[in-house]
Structure 1
Amino acid sequence: MSVALAPFADAADMRASAPFQPPSPTLWDGVYLGGHIGYSFTRSNFSVLPLATGGSAESGSTTLIDRQNGILGGYSAGLQGGVNYVLPSRLLLGLESDITFLDHGRSFRFIGPDAGGPDVISDKLSFVSTTRGRVGEVFGAWMLYGTGGLAVDRDTVSVLTNGAATDTALKTHIGWTLGAGAEVELTGNWRAKLEYLFMDFGRSGTDLFATSQRFSSAQAIHSLRLGLNYQFGWPGEVENGPKNDNSQSAKDPKAGADKGDGNDSNWSLHAQTTEIYQGKLPMHAPFSGPQSLSKNYEGRETATATGFVGYKLWDGTELYFNPEIFQGFGLNHTHGLGGFSNGEAQKTGTLYPRAYIARAFVRQTFGFGGGEETLEDGANQIGEKVDISRLTLSIGKMAVNDIFDNNSYAHDPRSGFMNWSAWEGGAFDYAADQIGYAVGGAAELNQKNWTLRTGYFLVPKVPNGDDYDTAFFKRGQYLVEGEERYSLFGQAGKLRLTGWLSQAFSGSFKESVDVAAFNLDIAETRKTRTEYGFVANVEQSVTDTLGLFSRASWRNGRSEIMSFTDIDKSFSTGGVLKGSAWGRPDDSIGVVGIVNGLSRNYRQFLAAGGLGVNIGDGQLRYRPEMIAETYYAIPITKGITLTLDYQFVQNPAYNADRGPASIISARLHSEF
């Protein structure tokens, strides 16, 4: 609240001391780009009419509610860009275009009747785009505006009739939008905005031939958005030019300071985008199951965009928020490998971009002295100086592997190795939803040469589900990790040992096979069961340009995988080399070898025809899954890197009768 009110207080002081000064052209004028997150509430009037002559219509008005989760509306995230021109009278004229992606995996579905019986009708909004004029007035560091223009949305309409017939059609609505908002300067060229938009798309219809129906709807969307813009100004202007005395950065020089040196700026603003294309070459496969890699060539792509917003509430307390957009599919819809080949692939792919909140957590740090060290500004880290001896608490939604099982050389599939069992301990079944995030908390006690970590996180209600099991401390995952930092022949090294135990509602491989009545339906055996395992993780710098690493992981393997992938034991070792030796010091090359295995109970389940998380060939002649991966990363310009990657997989999905598989990848990664 203090941040929001500060400009009003400062403006009051200025009225008493000096007349109003017109805004500098570099404050609001010119081109801007940014992103936004928000919440959308949608209402639809629909009708369903049989295509046959003489049919009667059923119609109604319903709020689009996800009946499964009881969620009204859904999260949204997107990008915007535009241009402003400020007249001497302080009147602002502008034009803005945006595209907003909706969390259609969770929202905008309803159940309705038709003339022939009950239908489950799904009208999933994929994205909304607007092009709008803006008229506003500038008040120093603030700007208020009204906006209106053209709106377009893209829907996917699906129908399931009596659990039998299905049909899917794509639909486009064209309508209009009106709204209003406010923007305020944060620091330097950054602006924050709060905006409300109403969008009306009128009525349009779609023929669903499989069910002999015509579905039509009139949709209206209410959207509340919080956004960040970067004001570039006009081409040729000096960046971060002189500011109006009313601007936030003029009043607080720290607000516009560079954040790369551990200063105490209250804000940390970063973003990333990653696009990966993978192609799997044709391979030997005398048979295939429902979750097998295809024997033919297959090409797939994934794309993500993430915003990393951090704000220091007060000394020692920070708030972090990460909106994220995902689009794409893994090979064979992320099936066919224990160590899957694309670290960005999610278990629920999507043709159109999907928006969601990846992380939202609070970090509290208590300092105990012992000297100071600098934490550089970066994604989810505000640049600051902190005590070496400290206790850090993180509570909220995050990824478990943000904190546990880190490794400097193999941990980020957006910039390093792509294979799941290379950037993580393959048998580390860490708590996560289908996207890879969990709700919980962690504590880290840091000393000069060691760190002790512990945490508790919610697990899914069912294995690889998307909803969290909120039976707190009755079910969930407990973790503990010790990290020792040392020096070997003058080169830094780290050793981490991670142990974890999960209480989760899961099924038994052995019971599914032994009890004929279950017919390999592992869901019939589900009850609260205990899963546990460990990860040993070492990294060692050899020279200034070469680093080596190894991981060994294991889990007990008696019950279903809760969250990660079909691996019960795994060992990986490799290295990363900078390109100084061949005159390209910013390039890097990585090589890793991996051996993955399964428990005896899991092997028998798969051999009998059972299906795992990502694998299931229908039959199994078991051999360890062996993977080799190598990549070459080339910086194109500051913050943008192109990576070429090759993976060779012997015995994909542990099946000696299939493969080997060769997978070629190209990745474009940017950081801002």
Structure 2
Amino acid sequence: MKKILSVGLLSLGVLHGSAQEKKDSLLPYTFHFQQTLVTQWHPDFSAKYTGQNSFLTHEPSATSITSTIYAGIRPVKNLELFINPELAGGKGLSKATGIAGFPNGETFRVGDPTPKIYLARAFGVYTLPFTTRVETDDDDQNNVAGTTPMHYLRFIVGKYCLADYFDLNNYSHDPRTQFLNWGLMNNAAWDYPADVRGYTMAVTLQYRKDNWMVQAASSLEPTEANGPNLNYNYGRSNGWMAEVTHTHQLHGKHEGNIRFMTFLNQAAMGNYLEAIRVAVDTPDVDAVGRNGHTKYGFGINMDQEFTDDGGAFLKASWNDGHNQTWAFTEIDQTISAGWVQAGNRWHRPQDRVGLAIVVNGISRDHQKYLAAGGYGFMLGDGQLNYGHEGILELYYSWNISKLHLAITPDYQFVLNPGYNKDRGPVNIFGIRTRVAF
């Protein structure tokens, strides 16, 4: 814990000094920094049994940290280049296992909690305009200030997180500023291609005309389930996704978005029923992995502002669930909804309070595998008395703008952790501290 805080404070001081020295440049550029610490704890809860990947009934608190530099330039008109070095360390509760909708979206399933520096993103964005009508873009993380045409074709190539561009939501997407739970940061049945830290090599093509956007992407998958390395044998291992977005105005002033997504992943996945069929003792889905196996699915994602200071979201997604989860989390069906309210009414307009619920499920094949004692990379109690995993999350983000600081107490209630009615419920308390400039 002391090492994590020391590393965080050192990087914060260095980067804050650099940001204050930002001056006019010959090239348009952007430079931002964020640091997020999350500490979580839960009281003891009851469980009839505990397996290798169970959420532990008793354990100490857990702390995670991420620090990210967002740097980019516009070397020529319509072309932007970005690079994001990142530091991550610490750990999640129960080594980030035992709950499919895991409570800390800032935690990776990395065995070594020692903070490490790595290259999170390095990519380019080229925009081909089809109109002179534009809208103004402010300087932001991975966005150089300027204008964006209302009608364009855009190419995004390099290493980045696919969730940077797909499955966006104004109220439930970023665990650094919004809900912390994995089931709320993304439409969780989308097993989005990524290495263990959430990034991949990808090509995304976007076409926008006024209030409509159509985009599609193809990317690499990891070499193994939840693996740290990407598989460059693209013909055998790849991910495809497509999404249509419509942006509208409610009563002419409250913005909303509706997104429809479909995806298809191919990798050397194991099949749940085959693992059961060939098992001498405990089934092992990794042992029956074979090239050519796929996972496909669909999702809908909506957000809507209803008042000047509040809005809601609704998401639902599904995947076929025959083959093993490969990159994100063991969720095959999910639905979530919630409300986020700004603090205007109590004279804290920068503050936010959010309340959401999410219900997760898995396929029949997946249920049979876990009930037979099988393990995924996140779940496995040794047995399974199946029930939908239900999660409620409540947070209050207290923003101190002068210090670029946000402090967020967070509470999560988890019913049937890991889809097991023989375990829980669990009450999880946390606090998130974030500095960004």
Q: Which among 352, 360, 364 is matched to residue 114 of structure 2?
A: 352
User: Is the partner of 2:428 in helix, strand or coil?
Assistant: strand
User: For residues 66-145 of structure 1, what are the structure 2 equivalents within 5 Å?
Assistant: 79=11
Equivalent pair of 2:282/2:372 in contact (CA under 8 Å): no
Whole-angstrom CA distance in 2 between matches of 1:519 and 1:653: 18
User: For residues 174-253 of structure 1, what are the structure 2 equivalents within 5 Å?
Assistant: 230=18
Q: Which among 247, 265, 268 is matched to residue 502 of structure 1?
A: 265
Structure 1 residue 590 displacement after superposition: 0.1
Structure 1 residue 583 displacement after superposition: 2.2
User: Is the partner of 2:31 in helix, strand or coil?
Assistant: strand
Q: Which among 499, 503, 527 is matched to residue 290 of structure 2?
A: 527
Whole-angstrom CA distance in 1 between matches of 2:218 and 2:82: 19
Equivalent pair of 2:417/2:426 in contact (CA under 8 Å): yes
User: Is the partner of 1:512 in helix, strand or coil?
Assistant: helix
Equivalent pair of 2:392/2:412 in contact (CA under 8 Å): yes
The Cα offsets for residues 559-617 of structure 1, whole Å up to 9 and x where unpaired, read as 11110001000000001001112222221100001100010000000001001121110
1:666 aligns to 2:431 (yes or no): yes
Equivalent pair of 2:41/2:430 in contact (CA under 8 Å): yes
Equivalent pair of 2:128/2:153 in contact (CA under 8 Å): yes
Q: Share of identical aligned residues, percent?
A: 35
The Cα offsets for residues 313-344 of structure 1, whole Å up to 9 and x where unpaired, read as 21111110000001100111101101000000
Equivalent pair of 2:221/2:239 in contact (CA under 8 Å): yes
Q: Which residue of 2 aligns with 1:441?
A: 203
Structure 1 residue 387 displacement after superposition: 1.4
Q: Which among 300, 319, 322 is matched to residue 555 of structure 1?
A: 319
The Cα offsets for residues 446-493 of structure 1, whole Å up to 9 and x where unpaired, read as 111110110001001111111111122442001100001112223211
Q: Which residue of 2 aligns with 1:636?
A: 400
Q: Which residue of 1 aligns with 2:172?
A: 410
Equivalent pair of 2:282/2:373 in contact (CA under 8 Å): no
User: Aligned in 2, Cα 1:518/1:461: closer, same or farther, shift over 3 Å?
Assistant: farther
Q: Which residue of 2 aligns with 1:367?
A: 129
Equivalent pair of 1:512/1:518 in contact (CA under 8 Å): no
User: For residues 318-337 of structure 1, what are the structure 2 equivalents within 5 Å?
Assistant: 318-337=80-99
User: For residues 512-523 of structure 1, what are the structure 2 equivalents within 5 Å?
Assistant: 512-517=275-280, 519-523=282-286
The Cα offsets for residues 240-281 of structure 1, whole Å up to 9 and x where unpaired, read as 9xxxxxxxx6xxxx539xxxxxxxx51100000000000011
The Cα offsets for residues 74-129 of structure 1, whole Å up to 9 and x where unpaired, read as xxxx8497xxxxxxxxxxxxxxxx8xxxxxxxxxxxxxxxxxxxxxxxxxxxxxxx
Query: Normalized per residue, which structure has more strand?
Result: 1
Letter in 1 for 2:297: G
User: For residues 447-596 of structure 1, what are the structure 2 equivalents within 5 Å?
Assistant: 447-490=209-252, 491-517=254-280, 519-528=282-291, 529-596=293-360
Equivalent pair of 1:510/1:601 in contact (CA under 8 Å): yes
User: For residues 164-179 of structure 1, what are the structure 2 equivalents within 5 Å?
Assistant: none
- Higher RCO by CA contacts (8 Å cutoff, separation 6 or greater): 2
Whole-angstrom CA distance in 1 between matches of 2:12 and 2:323: 46
Letter in 1 for 2:388: P
Q: Which among 156, 174, 185 is matched to residue 394 of structure 1?
A: 156
Whole-angstrom CA distance in 2 between matches of 1:334 and 1:80: 26
| Structure 1 unaligned blocks of 5 or more | 1-77, 82-97, 99-226, 233-238, 241-248, 257-264
Equivalent pair of 1:433/1:466 in contact (CA under 8 Å): yes
User: Is the partner of 1:524 in helix, strand or coil?
Assistant: helix
User: Is the partner of 1:464 in helix, strand or coil?
Assistant: coil
User: Is the partner of 2:243 in helix, strand or coil?
Assistant: strand
Letter in 2 for 1:661: V
Whole-angstrom CA distance in 1 between matches of 2:352 and 2:16: 33
Structure 1 residue 231 displacement after superposition: 8.1
Structure 1 residue 519 displacement after superposition: 4.1
The TM-score normalised by the length of structure 2 is 0.94
Whole-angstrom CA distance in 1 between matches of 2:363 and 2:12: 50
User: Is the partner of 1:542 in helix, strand or coil?
Assistant: strand
Structure 1 residue 658 displacement after superposition: 0.5
Whole-angstrom CA distance in 2 between matches of 1:438 and 1:545: 36
Equivalent pair of 2:55/2:99 in contact (CA under 8 Å): yes
Whole-angstrom CA distance in 2 between matches of 1:231 and 1:650: 44
Whole-angstrom CA distance in 1 between matches of 2:330 and 2:12: 40
Equivalent pair of 1:330/1:349 in contact (CA under 8 Å): no
Whole-angstrom CA distance in 1 between matches of 2:11 and 2:255: 41
User: For residues 643-662 of structure 1, what are the structure 2 equivalents within 5 Å?
Assistant: 643-662=408-427
User: Aligned in 2, Cα 1:448/1:80: closer, same or farther, shift over 3 Å?
Assistant: closer
User: Aligned in 2, Cα 1:349/1:515: closer, same or farther, shift over 3 Å?
Assistant: closer
Whole-angstrom CA distance in 1 between matches of 2:256 and 2:125: 27
User: Is the partner of 2:393 in helix, strand or coil?
Assistant: strand
User: Aligned in 2, Cα 1:231/1:648: closer, same or farther, shift over 3 Å?
Assistant: closer
User: Aligned in 2, Cα 1:228/1:473: closer, same or farther, shift over 3 Å?
Assistant: farther
1:602 aligns to 2:372 (yes or no): no
The TM-score normalised by the length of structure 1 is 0.61
Whole-angstrom CA distance in 1 between matches of 2:286 and 2:47: 29
Letter in 1 for 2:424: G
Equivalent pair of 2:175/2:185 in contact (CA under 8 Å): yes
Letter in 2 for 1:559: N
Q: Which residue of 1 aligns with 2:50?
A: 288
Letter in 2 for 1:613: F
User: Is the partner of 2:382 in helix, strand or coil?
Assistant: coil
Tell which structure's C-alpha radius of gyration is larger: 1
Q: Which residue of 2 aligns with 1:244?
A: none
Whole-angstrom CA distance in 1 between matches of 2:347 and 2:137: 30
Q: Which among 375, 379, 398 is matched to residue 611 of structure 1?
A: 375
User: Is the partner of 1:422 in helix, strand or coil?
Assistant: helix
The Cα offsets for residues 480-514 of structure 1, whole Å up to 9 and x where unpaired, read as 00001112223211100111001111100000112
Structure 1 residue 517 displacement after superposition: 3.8
Equivalent pair of 1:327/1:349 in contact (CA under 8 Å): no
User: Aligned in 2, Cα 1:631/1:617: closer, same or farther, shift over 3 Å?
Assistant: same
Whole-angstrom CA distance in 2 between matches of 1:519 and 1:297: 27
Equivalent pair of 2:195/2:229 in contact (CA under 8 Å): yes
Worse-matched range after superposition: 298-307 or 512-521: 512-521
Structure 1 residue 522 displacement after superposition: 1.6
User: Aligned in 2, Cα 1:370/1:534: closer, same or farther, shift over 3 Å?
Assistant: farther
Equivalent pair of 1:484/1:495 in contact (CA under 8 Å): yes
User: Aligned in 2, Cα 1:563/1:80: closer, same or farther, shift over 3 Å?
Assistant: closer
